[in-house]
Chain A
Amino acid sequence: MLDELKQHVRDLLAGDVAFVVAYGESADGRTAPVLAREPADADGLVWNDRCYFNLTRYLTDRDVMGDGEAKIGIVVKGCDLKTLNVLLSEKQVKRENLAVVAVRCEGMKDADGNLLAKCETCTVADPDPSFCDRVIGPVPQREPREDDYKDVDEIEAMSPAERLAYWSAEFDRCLRCDACRNICPLCYCRECLASQHDPRWIPASSSIAGNRLFHIVRAFHLAGRCTNCGECERVCPAGIPITTLMRKMGSVVRDDFGFEPGATPDQRPPLVSFAHNDPDPEEVKAP
């Protein structure tokens, strides 16, 4: 399987593809994102249960992409393909410039060897071939369990005062290192609201007011866009349960608009489009 992946990447690089964003090894031997530029670079690629990185993040990285006109390749898992679909529907990437290499996936594991939460409920382990140029690997055998949204329900069960206390304590831990934002493939704003100096919309310092605003603004901006890749929470040095916030926002958009972000590359995201027959969430919910 890995040989097939390497050979395919080698062929792409021998052809008209400038580089391939893939999984390889860092200098200290850990699995890491790499950019393969020469056919020989394909020899160092890896595929294992530590390939949790969502590589689509690099598709909007201007230092990596330059003017974005070159044809490049990218290795994706089924879940990453959803993010790619969002990027395509938001016109951030040109599909004709991409060679999408999808890998069938048995799930990713954390440092302790436990399957990631998102992988337990994954329904896209076998990527839809119509969205990719090549699908590699044996068909996954694992049966997903149904997502019970227990994490969201636990917080919903709290009183508003308890909930405020819960999130305030979480946000109080935030260092404002921006790792969650910078690893997010859909946080591609050229100038983030949180970084603007003048006017300073969101306090720069790690303070409860600023931290709360930062996370709330980010959650709203990703509502109906986030594909729950979980990279934000994985990298958070404070261990803030960011995905719970994102999953809540996603469930609201799904309930009100019947919308699953990343299902296809030509979706119209509900929160940035308008239709005369848009449901009024308040009316929908009225008995």
Chain B
Amino acid sequence: MIAKRDQLGAQIAELLETMEIVAPVRERGRVYFRAVRSPDDIAWDYGTSVNSIKEFFLPPRQVLFCYTSGGFKPVSAVPEKPRVIFLARPCDARALNIMDKVFLGDRPDETYAALREHATIVGLACDRPDQHCFCTSVGGSPAGTEGMDAILIPTGDGSYDVKILSDKGRAIFPDVPGDDSTVPDEFVQKAEAAIRRHITVPDNIRDSFASDYWREVSETCLKCGLCSHLCPTCHCFDIVEEGDCRVRCWDYCQSDTFTRIAAGHDHRAEKFSRCRNRVYHKFDYYPENFGVVACVGCGRCARHCPVNNGIADLVNGVDAR
């Protein structure tokens, strides 16, 4: 079914009465996923967003429970209102499926599971990749539907072809017939051809563990957490005490405190070892543990790196050695 932007906007306005709507919004010339107050806030024609939708499932700060002299006080992770995330790109939606491997495995993480359960993902097929996007090199597609409950396929002139992919998606779009959930071949081919960046993920990345390559490519790295914080699949966290509460917050493997252990020893003290670890976690350990590369090719790490050093180049270069 084809829906116009203002039709969808009217529907979002209605949903806002009972649900939280998260969508891309423009702030200072850049696009961020934020909870919106009105469909007018939405940046429908965005290309890429600075943040991914990860933070709505693994919040930067999540209170797990509190304790006072009165005793233990559990904190519910269930959001006050069910949440719909609109216009998530295929790379970001697919990243959720990849994080699920960790958080919804044998021992599901209660808070993550609750946030996943109460969220519906309405994706937006991608016709606006930039020079840093390389989703097709890591098993994704700009027309992919993994991790989505419904997908909007832009047909030009501010209209979208709406496809339903799950019961949750049906609940948002009850009027859309559900017999056709495939993205048209024509769109897929055109969208995939528009991805200009291609990388080679080597099968034998482990062989390069002791290579000087890692020292060379990490020289200018600042060991900041920008790439990890914007990455849709980076999910390492720290558990800290704040006041009366135990809190889970984002942590990052480049940080000086990430691998510091009792007595002050740091088994990844040098910059190259941290840089290598970030690449290996995504391209070696994760595939070994879960059968999938933990990178969706969204390009954020390269696009926003303070010193213009992205993971695509780090991985691509290994093979050249």
Contact = CB atoms under 8 A, between A and B. Distances in A.
B226 interface: yes
Interface residues on A, range: 35 or more
B60 interface: yes
Nearest to A31: B308
A183 interface: yes
Contacts of B308: 26, 28, 30-32
Interface string A189-212: 001100101001001111100100
A175 B60 contact: yes
Given A35-B219, A58-B220, A204-B249, A235 B310 contact: no
B317 interface: yes
A28 B270 contact: no
Contacts of A183: 222, 224, 306-307
Contacts of B229: 175-177, 237
B309 A26 contact: yes
A210 B313 CA distance: 34
A266 interface: no
Contacts of B251: 204
Interface stretch (B5-13, B65-73, B202-210, B252-260): B252-260
A63 B226 contact: no
A140 interface: no
A179 interface: yes
B312 interface: yes
A27 B316 CA distance: 9
Nearest to B312: A28
B240 A204 contact: yes
Given A200-B240, A204-B249, A63 B271 contact: yes
Given A26-B308, A35-B219, A206 B270 contact: no
A206 B225 contact: no
Interface residues of B, number: 48
B128 interface: no
Nearest to A21: B220
B230 A237 contact: yes
Contacts of A200: 240-241
A183 B226 CA distance: 11
A33 interface: yes
Contacts of B27: 239
A182 interface: yes
A7 B226 CA distance: 35
B135 to A, nearest CB: 16
Nearest to A236: B226
Interface string A223-241: 0000000010011011100
A30 B50 CA distance: 19
A178 interface: yes
A237 B256 contact: no
Interface string B159-195: 0000000000000000000000000000000000000
B106 interface: no
A16 B260 CA distance: 36
A197 B257 contact: yes
Contacts of B219: 35, 63-64
B220 A34 contact: yes
B3 interface: no
Contact of A27 (B30, B224, B240, B317): B317
Interface of A: 26-28, 30-35, 53, 57-58, 63-64, 175-179, 181-183, 191-192, 195, 197, 200, 203-207, 210, 231, 234-235, 237-239
Given A200-B240, A237-B51, 12 more contacts: A28-B302, A28-B310, A35-B220, A63-B271, A63-B272, A175-B51, A175-B225, A182-B224, A182-B306, A183-B307, A195-B256, A231-B306
Query: What are the 7 A-B residue pairs with the smallest beta carbon separation, nearest first?
Result: A205-B249, A27-B313, A182-B224, A205-B61, A63-B271, A235-B306, A206-B60
